[in-house]
Structure 1
């Protein structure tokens, strides 16, 4: 081993990163060895790389994505690092809030099993509805629903069409959810399916409302 270089085993013990992890970080271009033997493929590291290894290990300990870890190590910019960590901290807080809520719901269901809301399946015929669409965070659902229902009632009032059914909300399948946003559609029955007064959609900062023809469906 050339002077000043550490074998991957020695570097692993010094950095507290496994050899498997070091190979993965090398493949991802995040922590690249100072030298790779072309004949044997053996990796060697400089002692100065232990600083990056320590930063990497601490960032991964808080589940920071590898892409963000690599950006921090490449940029070496305190402002950029602070921005990335702030955004990740918000995600962790949201995750902790969801976990705490799930734990509370599980405990409540164990202590009071009859308090759970029953679920029913029903078939709905085709109907004309008005809807309000928007993309919101889970934490903002309540305020979004309040604004959506207010807008829908106002639209029905302008059309002179009384509601003919309960309000409701449609959520996307869980597999289609991405990032921190959720799509939500609320709607109200506008009357018999044969009655179709015109309802031009109006766009706003919170979402979009307009009319919709819903086919028969099972809910």
Structure 2
């Protein structure tokens, strides 16, 4: 005779459906205290109710089943708390990303229909120091931040005189194929001996349609959208790397104070 709780009773006590309890049994997350070998009926111990309640709350926080199992099997309180804290940190990151996405959407909906002011510019080739690498798009932001900091440190240490703002050239493959060449550079006077991944580069000249983006780079796609639309409508777009100039860059101001010139390559007969 079984003295435990039937699956139905345990379901009602824990607010976990019978289907969910069966799944948790199958994946080894919450096994019944006893299974009748003759009938296959599952019975749970009243002592398992608190465990089920913990599982409910962890799953409500979107913790994967494997991580929930790790929490339940932790050998000590410290290990358990570290696992939970790590998951909470991931949730906070996701929440921050969601809040940023909401703010970005609101900015888009409130954006004037006219979009960015666009001007044409001839950019001459420039001698510079730079860091060039083929990178995956998902790694670009981190690589870009690191490259800017490295160039700034090198320029300061060598007492080089910048002749223009920091900038970047980005191959179209970075967007189209999610992998491509990126170059971050600082125009400088004089010859520079390569050190590590920093070397002398010549930034090519180009004819550009240019628009200014102000604020976080999370919404810079709107400025790129204005430029691409303008180039398509006027049938002046040409193949070539996308270009950015950091008039007020992340090494100098907060994210909301960034000022970035974006250049889209174009054809101009009188350029």
TM-score strictly above 0.5:
yes
Aligned to 2:17: 18
Aligned to 1:87: 86
Paired residues, what number?
A: 183
Match of 1:150 among 141, 149, 152: 152
What TM-score, normalized by structure 1, do the two folds share?
0.62
Kindly report the root-mean-square deviation, in angstroms, between the aligned alpha carbons of the 2 structures. 4.7
Aligned to 2:107: 108
Task: Return 5+ residue gaps in structure 2 as ranges.
Answer: 118-129, 187-192, 202-238, 243-271
Structure 1 pair 87/21, CA: closer, same or farther in 2 (3 Å)?
same
1:42 matches 2:41: yes
State the secondary structure of the residue aligned to 2:58. helix
Q: Distance in 2 between the 1:67 and 1:46 partners?
A: 23
Q: Offset of 1:98 from its aligned partner?
A: 0.7
Which structure is higher in RCO with an 8 Å CA cutoff and minimum separation 6?
1
Aligned ranges 1:1-219 → 2 under 5 Å: 2-75=1-74, 77-114=76-113, 130-131=131-132, 143-144=145-146, 146-150=148-152, 167-168=168-169, 186-188=182-184, 201-202=196-197
Deviations 1:26-64 (A, max 9, x none): 111111111123344322111111111111111111111
Q: Distance in 1 between the 2:131 and 2:93 partners?
A: 32
Aligned to 1:179: none
Structure 1 pair 138/218, CA: closer, same or farther in 2 (3 Å)?
closer
The answer to whether the 8 A contact 2:169-2:241 is kept is: no
Q: Distance in 1 between the 2:145 and 2:21 partners?
A: 47
Q: Distance in 1 between the 2:78 and 2:196 partners?
A: 43
Q: Offset of 1:67 from its aligned partner?
A: 1.3
What TM-score, normalized by structure 2, do the two folds share?
0.51
Task: Return 5+ residue gaps in structure 1 as ranges.
Answer: 119-128, 177-182, 191-197, 203-208
Q: Distance in 2 between the 1:147 and 1:4 partners?
A: 67
Q: Distance in 1 between the 2:135 and 2:69 partners?
A: 34
The answer to whether the 8 A contact 1:200-1:211 is kept is: no
